[in-house]
Amino acid sequence: MTTRSETRTALDHLLTEIEHRNPAQPEFHQAAHEVLETLAPVLAARPEYAEPGLVERLVEPERQVIFRVPWQDDQGRVHVNRGFRVEFNSALGPYKGGLRFHSSVNLGVIKFLGFEQIFKNALTGLGIGGGKGGSDFDPHGRSDAEVMRFCQSFMTELYRHIGEHTDVPAGDIGVGGREIGYLFGQYRRITNRWEAGVLTGKGAGWGGSLIRPEATGYGNVLFAAAMMRERGEDLEGQTAVVSGSGNVAIYTIEKLAALGANAVTCSDSSGYVVDEKGIDLDLLKQIKEVERGRVDTYAERRGASARFVPGGSVWDVPADLALPSATQNELDENAAATLIRNGVKAVSEGANMPTTPEAVHLLQGAGVAFGPGKAANAGGVAVSALEMAQNHARTSWTAVRVEEELTHIMNDIHTTCHETAERYDAPGDYVTGANIAGFERVADAMLAQGVI
């Protein structure tokens, strides 16, 4: 039997090879390190996972597509953006993962997101593989007509690579209901098919699922609540800091309030707001979802209880719970140290990889319950898979049923991660539990299907 030391050495060699074969992709390197450094125990215990080069295949996408996206703005000027779709692993089902439209998007970012998606989707138990896509187009400040023209151009290339049994994109940063509508319309126009299951995040009146907009935020809070229950506490009366002010952050704040916690912050790229009375959801939704404004407007309208802090760190605000819900690597080691000094009990990731590796280790070392994104924010893709099920049956579930299913799935994910961590002598380590549990499910399917 291979020892853990020998397995660790082999993984280190593989990580070096990943960096060499994928230059200038630091986000992907980080995601690969975060997963592979936890796999030595399972590879030592189950050597069949190492023999067919399974891990080497797992870290290499099955397919990577890069294409140009030309479009015209309202003044008739032509712009050329770059589109991506990385179809990472389909051992458990069709590729599933969102589209991100943001200026920061590049191949390394999409690969990191797609790699994370493999394990996240596996943890849901819903038979979906991992993929991700997007573009360096930024819809912020663009008119509806400009966004429509971009989406139509983007889908004119993407349509040939997707399908309800092949690859099912959804939304992510910069891609909400408006963008999904334009993308679906162009897909239908090109293919002459009403293939509802090809995209998720659709409008509830034309194939979408109730609770889908809320699902990532709701699911993250449900996972945080499960971690707190494991420590003998609940969310009632707890103070929470939340970063971001988009879809994930808004519905994180909403679910926290429903479970008795008080979220006192939100943020965007301009700075953050602290509201001593708790974030006013109706006002935040009006500014961010209707007016597409900035959080400083929230502070101006809210009154004396709220203040806007330009720049700075939302993690400076004392709280019992921290829920990073904006973007990758937003919570660093210094921020983690501040949270620990201020008595934080749990950190649960609503965004994808928002906490740096150094910060994760610091939080875990201090005894803070830490919910990694591949487990904690799996609610969004879980309800996307439920949307696919409704599309397949040409039916629509009630909001109550969808939320019950989501609650069941998130509690199952927590239990799976917790029990797997204990099984591999890492009690309370949700990172190890999530990585190994997701890996085992994908690895078993890959072994069964042969070297492909």
Q: Which residues are catalytic?
A: 132
Handedness of CA 150, 245, 217, 110 (dihedral sign): positive
Is 206 exposed, middle or buried (CB count within 10 Å of its CB: 0-12, 13-18, 19+)?
exposed
Q: What angle do CA 267, 268, 274 make, to 5 degrees?
A: 20
User: Could you tell me if 354 and 313 are in contact, meaning their C-beta atoms sit under 8 angstroms apart?
Assistant: no
Contacts with 287 (C-beta within 8 Å, 6 or more apart), sequence order: 293, 294, 295, 297, 298, 301
Is the separation of the CB atoms in 362 and 333 below 8 Å? yes
Q: Are strands 167-170 and 95-101 parallel, antiparallel or unpaired?
A: parallel
Give the largest CA-CA distance in the chain: 67
* Chain centroid to CA 73: 30
CA pair distance 376, 347, nearest whole angstrom: 10
Q: Nearest to residue 126, comparing CAs of 438, 393, 376, 452?
A: 438
Q: Which residue has the tokens 């390394």?
A: 108
CA distance 235 to 201: 29
DSSP per-residue letters across 152-188: HHHHHHHGGG-BTTTEEEE-BTTB-HHHHHHHHHHHH
Reported as half-sphere exposure (CB side, CA atoms, 13 A), residue 382 has a value of 32
In Å, how far are 39, 44, 97 from 7, measured between CA atoms? 9, 6, 31
Contact 447, 47 (CB under 8 A): no
* CA pair distance 269, 323, nearest whole angstrom: 17
Tokens of 328: 């990758």
Q: Are strands 239-242 and 321-323 parallel, antiparallel or unpaired?
A: parallel
Asked if 328 contacts 353 with a C-beta cutoff of 8 angstroms, the reply is: yes
Indicate the DSSP class of residue 290.
Answer: I
SS3 277: coil
